[in-house]
């Protein structure tokens, strides 16, 4: 059984100040802001650190698993959460006698977190990012013509005001640019013009495109019909109760619900993919040993690749096995994105880079 060790803060966590730019290099690294007031500066700082650890922990867990599984960990104490913290960087900080304000970068220990989630039988998604583009068309009444680029499109405005959220699933509205306006119209989106939607996906480097058709549902709220370019399933219908006189709040709630629905679908699919494990045998020809070192590094950086095992090496050839999770289509696409090409010969592949 996984057990927490009793850690002394100074011994268990690497803490250092830095003036480096605010950046994020891993899904296990999170940028957080804290602003805490307490009886004195020391107490405020301690409370702020606990808050930062919890924010980072919640954010990383939310990236890796579903909202339902993430909720199972919400009752963890500050003393438990600190066990998952690997290091903290201070980007900037200010303090007074009773207040502590800071921008922090917190990194969780990947191995400890994975072991704990496995022990709790919480399934995690393949750690790979997805980009989803939303095309928000809007009508006040069912009989109205749809709006997209018009200034009266309150639904587009709500998406444009959507705050950024740290997640493996990036969900953004189609940008209001001349290029986008030339790509697709409200009518094309409403009639699901596949060619136009595919162009949107290609030009925005998106994994999928959703048409989000929103219309006021009488006086009862908002009705949103979600249609995916890549999914073969029927459209989703989301109903947001509320007073249309409070349109801004109603539409903002709609943005949140649509984002949660799409993120949940992608994570569920990724978790299912994570249960699929396969191995391929491959040969790579190299001129210099440094070429192979670089190729091995690139292979191991692919989220779906779990292990690269060298079976034989010599005379400018490397014979290996590549263990990966997910479908064949996903690993092929991931390899192509890294500049690799696979050619099949009987029961093995020739890996080119």
Task: Output the tens digit of pLDDT for each of the chain's 353 residues.
Answer: 444 443 333 334 656 555 444 444 578 999 999 999 999 999 999 999 999 999 999 999 988 888 888 888 988 999 999 999 999 999 999 999 999 999 999 999 988 998 899 888 888 876 667 899 999 999 999 999 999 999 999 999 999 999 887 777 899 999 999 999 999 999 999 999 999 999 999 999 999 999 999 999 867 799 999 999 998 888 999 999 998 888 999 999 999 999 999 988 888 888 887 778 899 999 999 999 999 999 999 999 888 898 999 999 999 999 999 999 888 887 888 899 899 999 998 888 999 99
Model pTM score: 0.66
Name the architecture of domain 277-352. Answer: 2-Layer Sandwich (3.30)
Distance CA 228, CA 225 (A): 10
Neighbours of 301 (CB within 10 A): 10
**pLDDT at residue number 10:** 35
pLDDT value, residue 323? 94
SS3 187: helix
Cβ 169 vs Cβ 125: under 8 Å: no
Predicted pLDDT of residue 17:
52
Q: Which residue blocks in the chain are alpha helix, DSSP H?
A: 9-12, 41-64, 67-71, 78-81, 110-119, 154-160, 178-183, 186-190, 194-203, 247-274, 289-300, 328-337
Give the CA angle between residues 83, 87, 93 to the nearest 5°. Answer: 120
| DSSP per position, 278-337 | EEEEEEEE-SSHHHHHHHHHHHHTSTTEEEEEEEEEETTEEEEEEEEES-HHHHHHHHHH
Contact, 128 vs 207, CB < 8 A?
no
Residue 271 has what pLDDT? 80
The CATH number of domain 130-272 is 3.90.1170? no
- Evaluate whether 333 touches 155 at the Cβ level (below 8 Å): no
**What does the pLDDT read at residue 54?**
96
The domain ranges of the chain are 9-119, 130-272, 277-352
Q: What pLDDT, on a 0 to 100 scale, did the predictor assign at position 7? A: 37
């Amino acid at each position: 059984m996984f057990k927490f060790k009793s850690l002394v803060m100074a011994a268990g966590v690497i803490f250092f100040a830095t003036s480096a730019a605010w950046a994020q290099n891993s899904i296990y690294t999170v940028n957080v802001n804290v602003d805490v007031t307490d009886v004195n500066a020391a107490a405020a700082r301690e409370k702020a650190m606990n808050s930062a650890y919890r924010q980072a922990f919640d954010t990383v867990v939310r990236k890796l698993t579903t909202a339902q599984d993430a909720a199972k960990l919400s009752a963890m104490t500050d003393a438990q959460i600190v066990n998952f913290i690997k290091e903290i960087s201070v980007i900037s900080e200010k303090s007074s006698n009773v207040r502590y304000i800071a921008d922090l970068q917190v990194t969780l220990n990947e191995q400890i977190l994975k072991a704990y989630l496995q022990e709790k039988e919480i399934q995690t998604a393949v750690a790979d990012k997805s980009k989803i583009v939303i095309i928000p068309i809007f009508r006040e009444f069912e009989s109205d013509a749809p709006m997209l680029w018009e200034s009266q499109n309150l639904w587009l405005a709500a998406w444009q005001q959507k705050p950024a959220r740290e997640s493996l699933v990036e969900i953004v509205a189609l940008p209001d640019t001349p290029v986008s306006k030339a790509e697709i119209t409200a009518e094309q989106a409403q009639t699901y013009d596949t060619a136009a939607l595919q162009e949107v996906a290609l030009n925005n480097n998106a994994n999928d495109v959703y048409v989000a058709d929103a219309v006021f549902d009488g006086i009862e709220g908002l009705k949103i019909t979600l249609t995916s370019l890549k999914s073969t399933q029927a459209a989703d219908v989301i109903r947001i109760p509320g007073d249309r006189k409070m349109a801004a709040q109603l539409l903002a709630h709609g943005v949140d619900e649509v984002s949660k629905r799409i993120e949940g679908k992608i994570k569920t699919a990724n978790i299912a993919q994570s249960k699929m494990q396969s191995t391929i045998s491959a040969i790579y020809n190299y001129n210099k040993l440094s070429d192979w070192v670089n190729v091995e590094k690139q292979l191991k950086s692919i989220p779906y690749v779990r292990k690269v095992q060298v079976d034989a090496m010599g005379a400018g050839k490397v014979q290996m096995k590549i263990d990966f999770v997910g479908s064949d289509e996903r690993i092929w696409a991931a390899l192509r994105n890294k500049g690799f090409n696979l050619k099949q010969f009987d029961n093995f592949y020739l890996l080119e880079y």
